[in-house]
Each structure stands twice: as structure tokens, then as C-alpha cells.
A and B are shown apart, each in its own frame.
Chain A
Amino acid sequence: MRFHIYQIAISIISAIMIFKGIENYVKGRNGQTFLKVLVRVVVWGGMVLIAIFPTFTNNVAEIIGMEGNINAIILVGFIFVFLMMFKLLSAIERLEQQITTVTRNESLSEIKKEK
């Protein structure tokens, strides 16, 4: 099997990203959960899989029921991006509310002291 440069490059980058995720999780670094490692393995592992076995996307399209592997990849990618955006917007909303609560408590502190 002959490998092209892009396949080698993607494999190396993906390997580094997966390794870093696992390393952070094993060392117990802040914010690293098993779910995050799993997502990292799926995303970067998926990229390696598609880079080395391009015909794999035909199998994915068949499973989903779509005609054409490109359509399947685009659909899966779109859904994934949409979910990420939803999660991000929810997190931002939560942070905004926390900021407001802190700002409010700070401004009410004088009144609360007098009480």
C-alpha cells in the first residue's frame, strides 16, 4: 500500500492530538474528562481512518442511507458542528448569567451590609 504525503501528515497530527488528550487525562489535568478523550479519539481517529481508507466513507454513506460518500460526510460534519455550536451557546448563556449574578451581588452589597 503506497501512502501519500497528506495521509502521513494527517496521521501524524492526529496521533499527536490523541496522545496529548490521553496524556492530559491520565495526568489528571483540569477539565479533562473521559468523554473529552473519547470525542478526541473519535474525531481525530476518524480523520486518520478516512485519510488512510478513503473508501470507508462509502460504507458510512451506505449505513446512513445516503447516496454518495461526500453527502454522508457533509451531513455528519454538519450535525457535529451544529451540536458543538449548541453546546457552546448554552455554555456562553450560563456564563453570562453567572456574570450578571456576580455583578448584581456586588452592587447590592452596600444595601445588604446596612441590613
Chain B
Amino acid sequence: MPTKKKIFIIIPAFNEALVIQDVIREVQTAGYKNIIVVDDGSTDNTHAKARDLLKECALRHKINRGKGGATKTGIEAAKLLGADIIVTIDGDGQHDPNDIKKLTDPIFKKEYDVVLGTRLMNPKGMPWYKIIANYFGNFCTWYLFGLWVTDSQSGMRAYSSHAAGVINTKADRYEYDSEVIREIYIYKLKFIEVPIAVRYTAYSMSKINKQGLVNGIKTLYKMIWGLIS
């Protein structure tokens, strides 16, 4: 049975004060103790709530930099703390921590460098417009970056220490998820997709900063800009 002690769970969070402690506790209940929350310049008390449970592993960006920026900060922190496997999940409780094992096992067996959680292999509960938007995002990611995946925008992923060392993203916002796909392609990292559950709650669907149509267009623009600039 693979040990869990060198697995770090990264949770980037922006204005998640209502749910962040529940998310942390769920991850701890699933058996993972190395948790890093990165508060991305929240205007509520997300950081204070996380700090109550995690102490020095509750990091904070003084100004909002975006999901990609916060995720990368968490990954850098995990690398400093000697992580062997780094798992990222969303801070709004959409991801089920019981799926973490599905992501880490392939890396523990040294078969893969990156494991991508995909909602589209099991889209139960996913709104139809999100499924369509996801396919469009997948198409754009494939067209621009050369790699087809079934869920290019998933925030639940696992990286080996080797992958975390070579992947070097510059994107700060939602285009980060697609940029990781590009890095996988450029560095020829071995990857696999595993189905994950997703929980769309009234709370998570009400978040203004989610990847909606406007943010989707901004993401596409940034992906194209990153290629031509």
C-alpha cells in the first residue's frame, strides 16, 4: 500500500470562506495531512479560516493573481517541502477527495508523470452547457497546443515531482489549465486521464469568477496571445 506522507494537496482559493474549512476537513478525512491552501487575495476571511486548521501551510497572495498563479504558488511550496506527488483540487468543494487516490496510484506505480482528472468520462450531474463549453475548450487546447484531452479545464490533477520540476507555466488565470496541457506535450510527459466525480452545488454555481462564457473568451484570447507575443 503506497504511503501517503509525501503527497501534498494544493487548494487554490478565492473568497471561499464559507466552504474552505469543510474542504480541508474532507481532504483530511480522506487521509491526507499535507495540505496547502493558497488564498489568492480574497476579500473575505478565507485565509484566516484556512490558517485556523493549517497554520503555516495556509499561504496568502496579498493581491489577486488568478487561479493559475495561486496553483503555481502552491506547487512551488510543495516542492520546497519535499513533495513526491502534488495533487491540485478546487477550493469550492466541487471535487471529491476520495478521488485523489485514483490520481496518485498511477504515479506511485511509476507509470505516469501526470494524471488528469476528467469530468467528461463521467459527466453525471454536469450541466449540458458546461459539457459543450468543455468540448470547445478541449478543441481550442488541441488546436493551439497539439494535445487532445477530454477535460482540458479540470482543476483536479496530480503531478510527480519530475513533472512538477519541468512544467513551467506563465499563465495566471484560467488559461493555466490549458498551458499545463501544452507543457505535457512539449516535455513529452507520460500522462493518463481518470474519471472523477464533480459536485455542482448551488454555492459553486453562484460563484461569479467561475469559468463562464466571458471568462472563456478571455481564456481563449490569452491562449492565442501567449502564442503570438
Which residues on A are within 8 Å of B, measured CB to CB? Answer: 86, 89-90, 93, 96-97, 99-100, 103-104, 106-108, 110-112, 114-115
Decide yes or no whether B62 CB sits under 8 A from chain A: yes
Known A-B contacts A90-B229, A93-B229; A108 and B63 likewise in contact (beta carbons under 8 Å): no
A107 close to B73 (CB less than 8 A): yes
A108 close to B225 (CB less than 8 A): no
- Picked from B66, B69, B80, B170, the residue with its CB within 8 Å of the CB of A108 is B80
A-B contact pairs, 28 of them (CB 8 A): A86-B229, A89-B225, A90-B229, A93-B225, A93-B229, A96-B172, A97-B170, A97-B172, A99-B63, A100-B65, A100-B69, A103-B61, A104-B61, A104-B69, A104-B73, A107-B38, A107-B59, A107-B61, A107-B62, A107-B73, A108-B76, A108-B77, A108-B80, A110-B59, A111-B56, A111-B77, A111-B80, A111-B81
- Contact residues in A for B172 (Cβ distance below 8 Å): 96-97, 100
Closest Cβ–Cβ distance, residue B86 to chain A (whole Å): 14
A11 to B202 CA separation, bound complex (whole angstroms): 64
Which residues on B are within 8 Å of A, measured CB to CB? Answer: 38, 56, 59-63, 65-66, 69, 72-73, 76-77, 80-81, 170, 172, 225, 229
Question: Looking across the interface, which residue of chain B has its beta carbon closest to that of A115?
Answer: B80
Closest Cβ–Cβ distance, residue A112 to chain B (whole Å): 7
- Contact residues in B for A108 (Cβ distance below 8 Å): 59, 73, 76-77, 80
A107 close to B60 (CB less than 8 A): yes
- Contact residues in A for B73 (Cβ distance below 8 Å): 103-104, 107-108
B65 close to A99 (CB less than 8 A): yes
In order of increasing CB-CB distance, the 9 nearest A-B pairs are: A107-B59, A104-B73, A100-B65, A100-B69, A103-B61, A111-B80, A90-B229, A100-B172, A111-B77
B80 close to A103 (CB less than 8 A): no
A103 close to B65 (CB less than 8 A): yes
B62 close to A103 (CB less than 8 A): yes
- Contact residues in A for B61 (Cβ distance below 8 Å): 103-104, 107
Closest Cβ–Cβ distance, residue B105 to chain A (whole Å): 28
Closest Cβ–Cβ distance, residue B170 to chain A (whole Å): 6
A65 to B62 CA separation, bound complex (whole angstroms): 55
- Contact residues in A for B76 (Cβ distance below 8 Å): 104, 108
A112 to B73 CA separation, bound complex (whole angstroms): 13
- Contact residues in A for B59 (Cβ distance below 8 Å): 107-108, 110-111
Question: Looking across the interface, which residue of chain A has its beta carbon closest to that of B222?
Answer: A93
